[in-house]
Amino acid sequence: MLNFKIALAQVNPHLGAFAENAQRILEQVHRAQSQACDLVVFPEATLFGYHPMDLLERPGVVEAQMKELHRLEKRIPKNIGVFIGAIVPNSKKKGKAYFNAALFLQGGKKSKVFPKQLLPTYDIFDESRHIEPGLVKDNVFKFKGKKLLVTICEDIWAWSGPLSPASARYGENPLTQVKSKDVDLVINLSASPFTDEKLKMRQFVVKTTATHFKAPMVYVNMVGGQDEMIFDGGSYAVDSKGKILLQCQRFVEDFRILDLAEGQAQKGNLAHLPKPLVEQRRQAIVLGLRDFVHKTGFSKVHLGLSGGIDSAVVASLAVEALGPDNVVALTLPGPFTDPQGLQAAHQLAKNLKMACHEIPIEDTFQVKMTSLERAFGSIPFGLVQENLQARLRAVLLMAYSNHQGSLLLNTSNKSELAMGYSTLYGDLCGGLCPIGDLVKGEVLELAHYYNRDREVIPPFIIQRPPSAELAPGQKDEDSLPPYPQLDRAVEKLVEGYRSPKGALDQKVLRAMMASEFKRWQAPPILKLSGHSFGRGRRFPIAHKAIY
């Protein structure tokens, strides 16, 4: 009978802020200790933060983390076992420089090191660049007479199954090399980022692992934003049949104690999880946006309000993440701006209680065109004039950034990013792109969601046909397929990794491949889907492979 009391410490580390992360760990350890826990489990890479990327090529970085680790080890009390995640030097003579390891810390004892075996090297993950794999089968040890199997994130993801795309990537499942009878409890430390489908996938791999070993399992996931990734928490524990015993919240730090002696879930220990996908996305973006702004040292953001739906939704999210006093809107009307849209933009700012400044671009536009035509002769209305407007807006938005030390938010959505329907150095500007992984229809859904209780986004903004307003009477659908069809094609081609079928798919694929040069220079994009544009999708520019 396993009667441990185990604390699940779902924390939000700051990448590379070793002292700060150690302090956070220690606080939670004391909290667990004060409640007589036997064990406390933190997420993967708790001390380092995740994803380390090429910080690991700087030798001083892991050295600094190791110093902090040694300080931390000395401060761990004697009567509790602590699992944290850290990056530690590879103790073998050959191979990559580091292990991504779970460490077991106990006051007065030497720490144990359990390296990760399966190293995600796909999409946004680059672990094989610097990490040497260990062997999960060596990660079993005895604590208070019970046998614990220690795994790290991907180590439990090799199970075959329709919900687990990772399964096909690995030649072997390291869990099948561990004897079932050797395991009384499975521990998993994760840094698993949010995607629409991730919760279901995690439930599948955790349940499969627990039932395979006929042992209860504790799964502790990181929470917080790191560049494009949003770790959503949602840590939990299951019994040996995969039944949930404890559930932490998503999108916030949480700390809950599992008493295995109780054998079943206790009321009050099952956090309410946000159900509708649109609500999950909203919370994910708010967390990702807030953490990006704060963890880069900013406190304020601003954005251009066009009177269109994308900027309206980004403004709503930003106000929620940072408060209305920390978000400023600029309206930048040009020669083709609909006055009704401009009015709606001001109304939106008023509804959100955010400051709003108006700076027309028409005068600069005329001066600039005159300069150009003086040099090159008359230029018929077209791409030059259209992009010029977008770029003159960007110049003003960036001047505001320099003036106020404020971070510019980009308002591109996934559908237009796919088509390259944006102006490089124009509306592609910004320090972060919060809705770049939502297709247009999903942005619309979020707009409706913001209006579910009261009117936040003026109906005109939601109902008007999308337009870049860079030419007279221009509508997006003059250049793009109708959004519902475009959205489906983008989802199929990007997240679905599928081949084009039919003329519309072909058109989208060609536009997507031809606009890679723009996305190469795009801001970080908060990842929400199985496959977003951004650093997890690495396409060449100069190529002819349009299939």
Concerning whether 44 is annotated as a catalytic residue, the answer is yes
Q: Does 384 bind a copy of itself (CB under 8 A)?
A: yes
| Interatomic CA distance for residues 478 and 332, integer angstroms | 23
Token pair 């990056």 is found at 87
Q: Does 470 bind a copy of itself (CB under 8 A)?
A: no
Q: Does 91 bind a copy of itself (CB under 8 A)?
A: no
Residue ranges in 247-266 that form contacts with a copy of itself under rule CB under 8 A = none
Residue 169: CB minimum distance to a copy of itself, A? 6
The string over 443-468, giving b where at least 16 C-beta atoms fall within 10 Å of a residue's C-beta and e elsewhere, is bbbbbebbbeeeebbbebbbebebbb
Q: Does 500 bind a copy of itself (CB under 8 A)?
A: yes
Q: Does 503 bind a copy of itself (CB under 8 A)?
A: no
Nearer to a copy of itself, 77 or 431 (CB): 431
Residue 39: CB minimum distance to a copy of itself, A? 29
| Interatomic CA distance for residues 367 and 486, integer angstroms | 37
Q: Does 275 bind a copy of itself (CB under 8 A)?
A: no
Q: Does 153 bind a copy of itself (CB under 8 A)?
A: no
User: Which residues are CB-contacts of 93 (< 8 A; sequence separation ≥ 6)?
Assistant: none
Q: Residue from 74, 92, 144, 353 that binds a copy of itself (CB under 8 A)?
A: 92
Q: Does 191 bind a copy of itself (CB under 8 A)?
A: no
Nearer to a copy of itself, 33 or 65 (CB): 65
Q: Residue from 3, 35, 121, 299 that binds a copy of itself (CB under 8 A)?
A: 121
Q: Residue from 150, 523, 527, 529 that binds a copy of itself (CB under 8 A)?
A: 523
Q: Which of 5, 37, 44, 469 is catalytic?
A: 44
Q: Does 137 bind a copy of itself (CB under 8 A)?
A: no
Residue 237: CB minimum distance to a copy of itself, A? 30
Residue 497: CB minimum distance to a copy of itself, A? 5
Helix H or strand E encompassing 370: helix 362-376
| Interatomic CA distance for residues 257 and 357, integer angstroms | 49
Concerning whether 153 is annotated as a catalytic residue, the answer is yes
Q: Residue from 374, 378, 473, 502 that binds a copy of itself (CB under 8 A)?
A: 374
Helix H or strand E encompassing 112: strand 112-115
> Contact letters (x/-) for a copy of itself, 295-324, by CB under 8 A?
xx----------------------------
DSSP, collapsed to helix, strand or coil, labels residue 432 as: strand
Selection from 399, 12, 63 nearest residue 191 by Cα: 12
Residue 538: CB minimum distance to a copy of itself, A? 5
Concerning whether 214 is annotated as a catalytic residue, the answer is no
Q: What is the DSSP string of 235-288?
A: -EEE-TTS-EEEE--BSS-EEEEEEGGG-SPPTTSBPPPP-SHHHHHHHHHHHH
Residue 386: CB minimum distance to a copy of itself, A? 8
| Interatomic CA distance for residues 446 and 316, integer angstroms | 10
Q: Residue from 38, 68, 184, 227 that binds a copy of itself (CB under 8 A)?
A: 227
Q: Residue from 358, 455, 477, 478 that binds a copy of itself (CB under 8 A)?
A: 358
Note whether 472 and 336 are within 8 A (CB): yes
Q: Which of 5, 37, 73, 153 is catalytic?
A: 153
Q: What does the block give as tokens for 322?
A: 């940072």
Residue 298: CB minimum distance to a copy of itself, A? 10
Nearer to a copy of itself, 48 or 483 (CB): 48
* The 301-304 sheet, strands edge to edge: 355-358, 327-331, 301-304, 407-408
Q: Which of 116, 198, 414, 527 is catalytic?
A: 116
**Phi, then psi, of 384 in degrees rounded to 5:** -60, -50
Selection from 410, 402, 444 nearest residue 427 by Cα: 410
Number of neighbours of residue 126 by Cβ within 10 angstroms: 19
Q: Does 135 bind a copy of itself (CB under 8 A)?
A: no
Q: Residue from 34, 378, 402, 463 that binds a copy of itself (CB under 8 A)?
A: 402
Q: Does 176 bind a copy of itself (CB under 8 A)?
A: no
Task: Name the segment binding a copy of itself (CB under 8 A); options: 256-264, 288-296, 411-419, 442-450.
Answer: 288-296
Reported in sequence order, the residue ranges of 174-216 that DSSP labels E, i.e. its strands, are 185-190
Residue ranges in 32-71 that form contacts with a copy of itself under rule CB under 8 A = 49, 51-55, 57-61, 63-64
Residue 430 gets the label, from left (phi > 0), alpha (psi -120 to 50) or beta, of left
**Phi, then psi, of 230 in degrees rounded to 5:** -125, 110
Residue 280: CB minimum distance to a copy of itself, A? 22
> Contact letters (x/-) for a copy of itself, 403-442, by CB under 8 A?
x--------------------xx---x-x-----------
Task: Name the segment binding a copy of itself (CB under 8 A); options: 148-156, 262-270, 273-281, 392-400.
Answer: 392-400
Residue 495: CB minimum distance to a copy of itself, A? 11
Q: Residue from 359, 471, 504, 511 that binds a copy of itself (CB under 8 A)?
A: 359
Q: Residue from 181, 200, 264, 376 that binds a copy of itself (CB under 8 A)?
A: 376
Q: Does 399 bind a copy of itself (CB under 8 A)?
A: yes
C-alpha distance across the termini of the chain, in Å: 57
User: Which residues are CB-contacts of 297 (< 8 A; sequence separation ≥ 6)?
Assistant: none
User: Which residues are CB-contacts of 526 (< 8 A; sequence separation ≥ 6)?
Assistant: 225, 228, 230, 284, 285, 288, 289, 292, 432, 433, 434, 435, 436, 437, 532
Q: Which residues are known to be catalytic?
A: 44, 116, 153
